[in-house]
């Protein structure tokens, strides 16, 4: 089964992840079929960059995202809320 999941990069205590498409039976650091974006959880706010066109193409082919990748896709695909300045 082909899945969309995270591949860890970065240094000790400073993780950076690539969002990749790969066979679910392969190890985390093995060769990926395609790279869709990056995720840096330690940034404030957490940095997420995803090529939504590529992601939609893979999802249409039946690729199953992991729960973390699904939440990241939901976060990126929703439009940003306008900032509230506190004035009424």
Q: Is residue 76 part of a domain?
A: no
Q: With contact defined as beta carbons under 8 Å apart, do 14 and 42 qualify?
A: yes
34 is a domain residue? yes
pTM here is: 0.81
Instruction: Please tell me the predicted confidence (pLDDT) of residue 26.
Output: 85
23, part of any domain: yes
Helices (H), the chain: 52-60, 67-77
- 30 in any annotated domain: yes
Over residues 29-75, the pLDDT tens digits come to 888 999 999 999 988 888 899 999 999 999 999 999 999 999 999 99
**How many whole angstroms separate alpha carbon 10 and alpha carbon 21?**
19
- The whole-angstrom separation of Cα 64 and Cα 3 is 5
**Does the pLDDT value for residue 85 go beyond 70?**
no
Per-residue pLDDT for 20 more than 80?
A: yes
- Residue 25: inside a domain, yes or no? yes
Bridge partners for 43 per DSSP = none
Domains held by the chain: number:
1
- In degrees rounded to 5, what are phi and psi of residue 57? -60, -45
Give the residue with greater pLDDT, 38 vs 84: 38
> Per the domain annotation, does 87 fall within a domain?
no
Q: Which domain holds residue 28?
A: 2-70
**Smallest Cα–Cα separation from 29: which of 39, 40, 18, 37?**
18
The answer to whether position 36 is within a domain reads yes
Q: Which range, of 3-7, 9-13, 73-77, 78-82, averages the lowest pLDDT? A: 78-82
Would residue 8 count as lying in a domain?
Answer: yes
Q: What is the CATH number of the domain that holds 15?
A: 3.30.1320.10
């Amino acid at each position: 089964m082909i899945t969309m999941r995270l591949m860890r990069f970065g240094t000790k205590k400073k993780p950076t992840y690539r969002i990749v498409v790969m066979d679910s039976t392969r190890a985390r650091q093995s060769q990926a079929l395609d790279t869709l974006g990056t995720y840096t959880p330690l940034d404030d706010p957490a940095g997420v960059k995803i090529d939504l066109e590529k992601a939609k193409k893979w999802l249409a082919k039946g690729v199953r995202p992991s729960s973390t990748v699904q939440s990241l896709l939901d976060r990126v695909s929703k439009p940003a809320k306008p900032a509230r300045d506190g004035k009424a």
